[in-house]
Amino acid sequence: MNIYLASKSPRRQELLRQMDVAFELLLVDTPEIVQPGELPEEYSKRVTQEKMSASWNTVIQNELPLMPVLCADTEVILDGKIMGKPQDEQDAYQMLKSYANRSHQVITSVGLIYNDYQKIIMNTTEVTFSAMTDEEIKHYLASGNYKDKAGSYGIQSYIGQFISRIEGCFDSVMGLPLNTVRELLLDFKRHSKNLA
């Protein structure tokens, strides 16, 4: 099955390649603004839904080949607060410092859309960091790997050595839980067969 991947993330592209899923990139910008009083889970689901709608509209309006579109949103949550992507190096430093010797949650919502088929599955993983010195944090920041990453870190990089425990899906922390993608693709195939 061929699909569109609506994501600029090289990590999501790499993960999808591991599944041997044929895909084309479909790049659509959607605003990611937290609404007042919106819970992290609601926010992630809403952003994923908006990405799905915008992507499908792009397929239709540009008369692109009709294929399912896979979208995802990853959020890092500490003490019930969405950490977001860092605005600058100082912001990233503060985020990373706040994770030391603590646990936080990583929520990844994954959605698939094709015509009237729309489904979103949310995956939550708990990540625990050990202690990190200022020097270790600054060394990571100097690499630039914090840029454009939810919560300022990529688990697969240098900072991963400070993660003492993961409860849940490692791939989800990278931005695309493969088992969830598989589940969505199988569900879509069943849905398509029922319509035939």
Residues known to be catalytic:
73
Closest listed residue to residue 15, CA positions, set 176, 136, 184: 176
Of 63, 157, 165, 50, the closest CA to residue 111 belongs to: 50
Q: Are strands 103-114 and 117-129 parallel, antiparallel or unpaired?
A: antiparallel
| The two three-digit tokens of residue 132, written as one number | 């990190």
Could you tell me if 120 and 72 are in contact, meaning their C-beta atoms sit under 8 angstroms apart? no
CA atoms within 13 A on the CB side of 86: 20
